[in-house]
Structure formats: structure tokens, C-alpha cells
Homo-oligomer: A and B are copies of this chain.
Amino acid sequence: MKYRFALRADTLKGSEIREILKLTELPEIISFAGGLPAPELFPVETITQLTNKILTEEGQLALQYGSTDGLPLLRQIIANERMALAGVTTTADNILITSGSQQGIDFCARIFLNDGDYVICEDPSYLGALGVFNTYHAKYLPIPMDDDGMIIEELEKTLQAYPQAKVIYTIPDFQNPTGRTMSIERRKQLAKLAAKYQVVVMEDNPYGELIFEGKRNPAIKSFDQDGWVIYMGSFSKTFCPGYRIGWTCADQELINKFILLKQTTDLQSSTIAQREIAYYMRDNSLDEHIQEIIKVYKARRDLMLDSIAQYFPAAIKYTYPLGGLFTWVELKSEIDTAALLLEALKENVAFVPGAAFFPNGGHRNFLRLNYSNMADERIVEGIKRLGKVIQRYYE
């Protein structure tokens, strides 16, 4: 290697599993490996009209540079509506528009993590966040989960044992990869522990509004009294991901640092995309649109879980997601789901093997299934095929 890279560049390596997952995109494969929203639900017609109006009435403004922190109207609607729905009282001044919530994760890591710092997270956790933390050579303190999310007693033990840990990363609603939801009681406890141990909580919440029954859960941020919680939201799952618009909500001292970081990394997010989303929310009901998404995803979840019950061995376990895009399947411990994927591909069906989601490794018998982006008959057929492959290990 001739280039003298920074130390962190050693983490930027392709992975074997990523190469295999490319195969899952072949058209003949029924793939539960993705995490895409259903494009047939994008409000394309309304967006077309809106875009025409924006370009006709203020095209020059919409295509020019804008401010680094984001379009004031968009920040205001996010503060007053989306954050309020999550039980958080805040103002536009506490919102930074980011290029997806992914960018918020990167900014948090960049602002808080020195090389080799500890990150506390759920075990398993979101692959894309682990990828970010890896570039800072983070060390992981994964906290076991149950059906109510991260086990708080375990978290406190870890905080006591590792007072140098700076960051707790969590996806409280319909977690990726497990589909699990943190209980409200645990959210309160988590907010308290963060203040007690002076640790920042990265609350990654791209799915929270896609709740299949009942009302949006209060965010951990809603129980935050002293500014320890940083909330990251996104329009990728509730509107459409192609615009790359998300946000970070944090206390003043923090958000100011985030804005300065945004300035250096990419100046700002798309001016016109911010207008599209802001005006959409001003002139239409995003809540009604989200209800349509929920109706479809809930039906797909039901169909997937029913199919699993029918076609998978009775001995397996799987989560019952109350919202979001994923369910998580546990097979018997001797099964390696990476090897299983190769067998599944022969039957033209795919999933994501679970091992990579565990930051410190050690669990090879899990798999993640996505149900948001697939027609009913393919869900049934795909689960049937996958069941056939799994059954071989249970005979």
C-alpha cells in the first residue's frame, strides 16, 4: 500500500457479507435483506405539484445556497409538530437539518469520540451506526436486551464499571435489527442514568412514527431535563428517503457545535429538498400520510409473522414488532446464519445474517427480516422458501 492513510482509514474495508448481500439484489431473489420504505406509498403526485409551485414561485431561492442550520420553516415545523408528537418541548433553534439521521450519528461520534473511547449500545445494534463508531476505533460495551429493550440494570452496572464511557447509542422504537421497543419506564430510567453518570444519549429514532397500534411513544429526550439526550429524526421512512433530509435536536451548546460541524462537512443539506418537505407538511397532513404507511406495513408485518408461524419450525423464536420495518429471528445456537444465507440464495430468498449486528460478535444464529417493501404474495412465498431451508436443521 503506497498511500499513507490516517489510522482511522484502516476501518474502511469492504466486508464479505456486503459482497454476498449484493447478490440479494438480483431480480429472481425474494429479498428480506433490505430496509427500504415502500415506494408505492411515496406521495409522488403531491410532490410533483409542490415542486412545480416552488420552482415557479421561488426557483432562484430554492436552487441557491441556504443557511447551514437549515430552512427556518422546516426547523420550526419539526420542533412544533414532529418533536411535540414525541413529547419533546423544543424550539427551531434546537434543530439542525442533516442529510438523513445517519449524518446525525456521524456528527455525534465526531463530536464526542476520541480514538478508542467506549460506546454503550444495545446488543445487537444498527450496523450503520457501528460502522460510524468503528471509524473512531470505538470500543463497545453492548447491553443485553429483552422484549422491553436495553436491560437497564445491566446498563447501570456497565456505567459503574466504565465511568469513562461517554455515549449511549440507542434506537428505542422498533429497533434495527430486532424490531423491539423500549418500555416507557426504561426510557425514564435511561434519561436519569444519563444525567447521573453524565453520559450523552444518542437517541436514534427513524421509525418511531410508524407505530402500528396506539400513540407515538414519548421519546427518551422527553424525559431529559439537563440536555444529555441528542435526538436524531428522519423523513426517510415517513416521507421519502431520496431527498436525504433528517434532523438532530439537542440543547443549545450542543446544537451550536453540530451546526459548525455541518458547515465544515458539507455546508448545508439540499435547499430545495428542505422546501419540499416543509411545504408538504405546511399544506398537507403528514400524519394522515403516515397513517397510510402504517396500514400497509402493519398488514405486511401480520402476513410475515403468520407465514413464519406456518412455515418455520415451531422451535424458533422471533420478535413481534409494534411498528417499524423489521423482525428478528433466533434459530438454534448451532446454526450459522451466514452459511444459511448461502443455502437460502440457492432457493432464491435472502435475509441479513445477524452476526454483524453484535458489536463484539459471538452470536451467529440470528437473522433480520424486512417486511416493509414487498408485495403480499412475495412475503408468503419468500417465507415459505426460507422455512424450507431452515427446516433442514430441525429435522
Q: A13 and B260: CB pair below 8 A?
A: yes
A269→B203 CA distance, assembly (Å): 23
Binds B, one of A127-135, A145-153, A295-303: A127-135
Number of copies: 2
Chain A residues near B (Cβ < 8 Å): 1-9, 12-14, 36-37, 39-40, 42, 44, 47-48, 51-52, 55-56, 59-66, 98-100, 102-103, 106, 110-114, 117, 128, 131-132, 134-135, 166, 198, 200, 226-227, 236, 240-244, 253-254, 256-257, 260-261, 263-273
Partner of A59, one of B42, B241, B256: B42
Q: A60 and B36: CB pair below 8 A?
A: no
Which residues from B are CB-within-8-Å of A272? 242-243, 273
Question: Shortest distance in angstroms between A333's beta carbon and chain B's nearest beta carbon?
Answer: 31
Q: B63 and A260: CB pair below 8 A?
A: no
Question: Shortest distance in angstroms between A73's beta carbon and chain B's nearest beta carbon?
Answer: 15
Give the nearest-CB partner of A167 in chain B: B4
Question: Shortest distance in angstroms between A370's beta carbon and chain B's nearest beta carbon?
Answer: 13
Q: A240 and B63: CB pair below 8 A?
A: yes
A301→B257 CA distance, assembly (Å): 37
Known contacts A44-B55, A260-B14, A270-B273; is A242 also within 8 Å of B99 by CB?
no
Give the nearest-CB partner of A270 in chain B: B244
Q: A114 and B63: CB pair below 8 A?
A: no
Q: A102 and B267: CB pair below 8 A?
A: yes
Q: A111 and B6: CB pair below 8 A?
A: yes
Which residues from B are CB-within-8-Å of A9? 110-112, 257
Known contacts A36-B64, A42-B60; is A99 also within 8 Å of B256 by CB?
no
A243→B198 CA distance, assembly (Å): 39
Q: B102 and A266: CB pair below 8 A?
A: yes
Q: B61 and A39: CB pair below 8 A?
A: yes
Rank and list the top 10 A-B pairs by shortest CB-CB distance, nearest first. A44-B59, A242-B271, A39-B60, A63-B240, A63-B242, A12-B260, A99-B266, A48-B55, A131-B264, A103-B266
Give the nearest-CB partner of A271 in chain B: B242
Known contacts A42-B63, A241-B64, A244-B266; is A3 also within 8 Å of B260 by CB?
no
A261→B10 CA distance, assembly (Å): 11
Partner of A166, one of B4, B63, B265, B269: B4
Q: A265 and B106: CB pair below 8 A?
A: yes
Which residues from B are CB-within-8-Å of A59? 42, 44, 47-48
A55→B266 CA distance, assembly (Å): 26
Give the nearest-CB partner of A51 in chain B: B51
Which residues from B are CB-within-8-Å of A134? 264
Most chain B beta-carbon contacts within 10 A, residue among A40, A63, A271: A63
Give the nearest-CB partner of A164 in chain B: B4
